[in-house]
Chains A and B, each alone.
Chain A
Amino acid sequence: MSQQFLIRGGSIVDSTRDETRADVLVRDGLVVEVGPNLDSAGAQVLDASGCVVAPGLVDIQVHFREPGREDSETIETGSRAAALGGFTAVVCMPNTNPPLDDAAVVQSVLSRGRQVGLCDVRVAGCITKSRAGRELAPLGELYDIGVRIFTDDGDCVADANLMRRAFEYSSALHGAVIAQHAEDPDLVAGGHMHEGEWSAKLGIPGRPSEAEIVIVARDIALARRTNGRYHVLHLSTAGAADLVRIAKAEGLRVTAECTPQHMTLTDAACEGYDPVFKMNPPLRSEIDRDGVRRALIDGTIDAIATDHAPHAPETKEVPFEEAPPGMLGVETAFAVAHTELVATNILTMRQLVARMSFQPAAIAGFGNEHGRPVAPGERANLVVIDPLATWTVDASKVASKSRNTPWAGRELTGRVRHTLLNGVPTVINQETTK
């Protein structure tokens, strides 16, 4: 028996078109028909009136904490939160315990993701063994089981020679990308927030913007030398954005992402010492925030990624300097970006979908499965978004196992209504289907 769904009354936005009114018929995992007033016979109807129908969102930086910290998030709770946020694919960072530097551990995460079935769960592999920054992890072995992004995220690969070798070695692995958490460890040692006016006032040791700038400058030089493929994770400074802009103009294989928080919030959010606003790299000055936003708008930054970083409540109920860095993101990312950039007419819906779906899918090497045009024959990984819906973020009601959202109490415009993964709804009317 074949399952059919008719997404009725929406406007399609994808890599090939902008706001085209059409119904979408989905059967056996695929989009089978796109056009006005399709027949609903035998299909479950998903109402999309007033909504945008787009390829499912893709988040290339999440932490689902499994294995190791299942008290703060699991692949199941993370997948549920991601599906509610409109994501059909995520890339889990390898800083789990044990870390993802081993094919067996990677396989176990991938298989758990498939078992949960709410989101296409992919992983990034470590650049170095145990993320210790000394020897290369088995990049080829991980590549062979599908890993395309390599990073020691959470830690920066500080050793320039090892970074050079990672670029060189991975250049033999077609489609592989070396992604960096760009913060020089010596410059940020002991720091807990952006170094500047606010850190000086609050007495919190700082992490200077230059820690990111020097690493991105160095890595771009190494990428040029090795013809390596380089991706800057959660870019947070105007200076690093300028470096990426120049590298792209030069034709280097360099991409970058930013988080919703780095393009929206500033270090002033730390005024009340609430560790919910603590992350690495830190929320920065207005100058950096504006620089990141400009780079996202002009295309220097290719993707919005959340760095979804759940932390159990008790780990954040401590002094600022003792709390772990990181914020939730997947449930709110689209709405925050939409509120900030589309509802304000800075970006079009299509430009936002580019930055949250097909561009990150291409960086992560699964652009043939996610971020596809909404067209017959394509895999039905789709999201239906109501751009006019307004809602207020309630930290106590998130699907994530943790509550550390920096958006609590914020009113947002734009909300995910339905999400379909491989032709099957994971979310209908803002509720997960399993």
Chain B
Amino acid sequence: MKHLLSVDDLGGRAGIERMLELTDGFLAVTRREIPKIPALVGKVIVTLFYEDSTRTRLSFETAAKRLSADTMTFSVASSSVKKGESLLDTVQTIEAMGIDAIVVRHGAAGTPHRIVNWTDASVINAGDGRHEHPTQALLDAFTLRRHRQGSLDGTRIAIVGDIVHSRVARSDVKIFNALGADVTLVGPPTLMPESLEDWGANVSYDLDEVLGDVDVVYLLRIQKERIAGGRFPSLREYSARWGLTAQRAARLKPDVVVMHPGPMNRGVEIANDVADADISLITEQVTNGVAVRMAVLYDLLANPTSSERVS
């Protein structure tokens, strides 16, 4: 694998499982007293973020540093992009400095696919528009697998909320399906994709009907701006029909877990107390994010003949 643009690039179930096993090793590294190994000494990794992000960018930079790579942060707010530099010129400028990987986030779907044509470096998609977010999918699968005794086969997962605008939903459906889970998309019809051909997911508009039958409730962020587009009438009405309220959470079977990619809107898609309850894996998702990104960077960049083998 040279680039990670989509969950499809991981090579199906076998490739995904290999990456999750690699992640296990790196999770152990992150728990060492000195959580740093010299696997990517001399490699240069650029984070190129055209959208605001806290956790994903910090997670990639932390992962890179723990592998002893050098990192460069390109943030649009304080760069030549403000002076009108095109994405192509920006990529070629960065490339000219001598780099090994570009971690890119952009508001337009397919931007990482475009960048691949303009650079010899490895390109990692850290979120492109509403398209994909493959490292989020890996960390979600990794987190969930640890709670399901190492297997997602037969696990029933409800992904609830703004599916159509969600890159997390697109990537998660792919990875959960590949690992044998059974996915149901839940939300108002106005937030469902225009076509679910080849998605391999069930659809329900009724959260209460689904909740009794699931092992995992995966909630997506709901944005106020969707009201203006006529997607739903109000946050209050959304929350009443599709929010994981304390009342709904109380009806879940005892072993059900709750996930969220962040950032959360407490009180909208998830009640405050549910977010902090024991059934929530939300902070664990963040912790595992670093290990997953170490695995991805290692897999893409490590020279197999010279680098240290992991645990």
CB nearest neighbor in B for A321: B108
CB nearest neighbor in B for A203: B131
Q: Could you tell me if B111 and A202 are in contact, using CB atoms closer than 8 angstroms?
A: no
Interface contact tally, CB-CB below 8 A: 67
Q: Could you tell me if A272 and B88 are in contact, using CB atoms closer than 8 angstroms?
A: no
Q: Could you tell me if B194 and A203 are in contact, using CB atoms closer than 8 angstroms?
A: no
The interface on chain B, measured as residues whose beta carbon lies within 8 A of the other chain's beta carbons, has a size of: 25
Q: When the two chains form the complex, which single residue of B86, B130, B132, B198 contacts A314, counting CB atoms closer than 8 Å?
A: B86
Is B109 among interface residues, defined by CB-CB distance under 8 A? yes
Residues of B within 8 A of A205 (CB): 130
Query: Shortest distance in angstroms between B294's beta carbon and chain A's nearest beta carbon?
Result: 27
Query: Shortest distance in angstroms between A403's beta carbon and chain B's nearest beta carbon?
Result: 15
Contacts known (A203-B170, A204-B109); A318 close to B194, Cβ less than 8 A: no
Q: Could you tell me if B86 and A272 are in contact, using CB atoms closer than 8 angstroms?
A: no
Q: When the two chains form the complex, which single residue of B113, B114, B193 contacts A200, counting CB atoms closer than 8 Å?
A: B193
Is A322 among interface residues, defined by CB-CB distance under 8 A? yes
Residues of B within 8 A of A391 (CB): none
Contacts known (A317-B88, A318-B88, A321-B129); A200 close to B110, Cβ less than 8 A: no
Q: Could you tell me if A203 and B128 are in contact, using CB atoms closer than 8 angstroms?
A: yes
Q: Could you tell me if B109 and A202 are in contact, using CB atoms closer than 8 angstroms?
A: yes
Query: Shortest distance in angstroms between A79's beta carbon and chain B's nearest beta carbon?
Result: 30
Is B197 among interface residues, defined by CB-CB distance under 8 A? yes
CB nearest neighbor in A for B128: A203
The interface on chain A, measured as residues whose beta carbon lies within 8 A of the other chain's beta carbons, has a size of: 21
CB nearest neighbor in A for B196: A200
- Could you tell me which residues of chain A, from 188 to 221, have a CB within 8 Å of some CB in chain B? 195-197, 199-206, 208
Q: Could you tell me if A320 and B194 are in contact, using CB atoms closer than 8 angstroms?
A: no
A175-196 vs B, Cβ < 8 Å mask (1 yes, 0 no): 0000000000000000000011
Q: Could you tell me if B110 and A319 are in contact, using CB atoms closer than 8 angstroms?
A: yes
Residues of A within 8 A of B87 (CB): 318-319
Is A169 among interface residues, defined by CB-CB distance under 8 A? no
Give CA–CA (A205, B109) in the complex, Å: 9
Main secondary structure of the interface of B (DSSP, over half): loop
Q: Could you tell me if B108 and A319 are in contact, using CB atoms closer than 8 angstroms?
A: yes
Residues of A within 8 A of B114 (CB): 273, 318-320
CB nearest neighbor in A for B164: A200
Residues of B within 8 A of A314 (CB): 86, 88
Q: Could you tell me if A196 and B88 are in contact, using CB atoms closer than 8 angstroms?
A: no
Is B54 among interface residues, defined by CB-CB distance under 8 A? no
Residues of A within 8 A of B196 (CB): 200
Is B221 among interface residues, defined by CB-CB distance under 8 A? no
B71-94 vs A, Cβ < 8 Å mask (1 yes, 0 no): 000000000000000111000000
Contacts known (A273-B110, A318-B114, A320-B109); A204 close to B195, Cβ less than 8 A: no
Is B105 among interface residues, defined by CB-CB distance under 8 A? no
Residues of A within 8 A of B132 (CB): 203
- Could you tell me which residues of chain A, from 142 to 200, have a CB within 8 Å of some CB in chain B? 195-197, 199-200
Q: Could you tell me if A273 and B195 are in contact, using CB atoms closer than 8 angstroms?
A: no
Give CA–CA (A201, B199) in the complex, Å: 8
CB nearest neighbor in A for B118: A317
CB nearest neighbor in A for B163: A200
Q: Could you tell me if B88 and A203 are in contact, using CB atoms closer than 8 angstroms?
A: no
Contacts known (A318-B114, A319-B87); A195 close to B194, Cβ less than 8 A: yes
Residues of A within 8 A of B194 (CB): 195-196, 199-200, 206, 208
Query: Shortest distance in angstroms between A178's beta carbon and chain B's nearest beta carbon?
Result: 31
Contacts known (A203-B129, A273-B114); A320 close to B108, Cβ less than 8 A: yes
Q: Could you tell me if B195 and A202 are in contact, using CB atoms closer than 8 angstroms?
A: no
Query: Shortest distance in angstroms between B104's beta carbon and chain A's nearest beta carbon?
Result: 10
CB nearest neighbor in A for B170: A203
Give CA–CA (A82, B206) in the complex, Å: 57
Give CA–CA (A319, B87) in the complex, Å: 8
Give CA–CA (A200, B198) in the complex, Å: 10
B181-214 vs A, Cβ < 8 Å mask (1 yes, 0 no): 0000000000001111111000000000000000
Query: Shortest distance in angstroms between B223's beta carbon and chain A's nearest beta carbon?
Result: 14
Is B66 among interface residues, defined by CB-CB distance under 8 A? no
Q: Could you tell me if B86 and A203 are in contact, using CB atoms closer than 8 angstroms?
A: no
Contacts known (A200-B194, A206-B194, A273-B114); A319 close to B106, Cβ less than 8 A: yes
Query: Shortest distance in angstroms between A259's beta carbon and chain B's nearest beta carbon?
Result: 23
Residues of A within 8 A of B110 (CB): 202-204, 273, 319-321
Q: Could you tell me if B130 and A197 are in contact, using CB atoms closer than 8 angstroms?
A: no
Is B167 among interface residues, defined by CB-CB distance under 8 A? yes
- Could you tell me which residues of chain A, from 260 to 312, have a CB within 8 Å of some CB in chain B? 272-273
Give CA–CA (A172, B180) in the complex, Å: 68
CB nearest neighbor in A for B192: A200
Query: Shortest distance in angstroms between A73's beta carbon and chain B's nearest beta carbon?
Result: 21
Query: Shortest distance in angstroms between B92's beta carbon and chain A's nearest beta carbon?
Result: 11
Give CA–CA (A201, B197) in the complex, Å: 9
Q: Could you tell me if A203 and B167 are in contact, using CB atoms closer than 8 angstroms?
A: yes
Give CA–CA (A208, B193) in the complex, Å: 13
Residues of A within 8 A of B167 (CB): 203
Contacts known (A273-B110, A318-B114, A320-B110); A204 close to B197, Cβ less than 8 A: no
Give CA–CA (A205, B108) in the complex, Å: 10
Residues of A within 8 A of B128 (CB): 203
Give CA–CA (A366, B198) in the complex, Å: 50
Query: Shortest distance in angstroms between B241's beta carbon and chain A's nearest beta carbon?
Result: 23
Q: Could you tell me if B88 and A321 are in contact, using CB atoms closer than 8 angstroms?
A: no
Q: Could you tell me if B129 and A200 are in contact, using CB atoms closer than 8 angstroms?
A: no
Give the 8 A-B residue pairs with the shortest CB-CB distance, closest first: A203-B131, A273-B110, A319-B108, A321-B108, A203-B109, A200-B193, A203-B130, A200-B195
A-B contact pairs, 22 of them (CB 8 A): A195-B194, A196-B195, A200-B196, A200-B199, A201-B198, A203-B129, A203-B131, A203-B167, A204-B129, A204-B131, A206-B194, A273-B109, A273-B111, A273-B113, A273-B114, A314-B86, A314-B88, A319-B106, A319-B109, A320-B108, A320-B109, A321-B109
13 additional contacts (CB under 8 A) given A195-B194, A273-B111, A321-B109 = A202-B131, A203-B110, A203-B128, A203-B167, A204-B110, A208-B194, A272-B113, A273-B109, A314-B86, A318-B87, A318-B88, A318-B114, A320-B114
User: Which B residues fall within an 8 A CB radius of A?
Assistant: 86-88, 106-111, 113-114, 128-132, 167, 170, 193-199
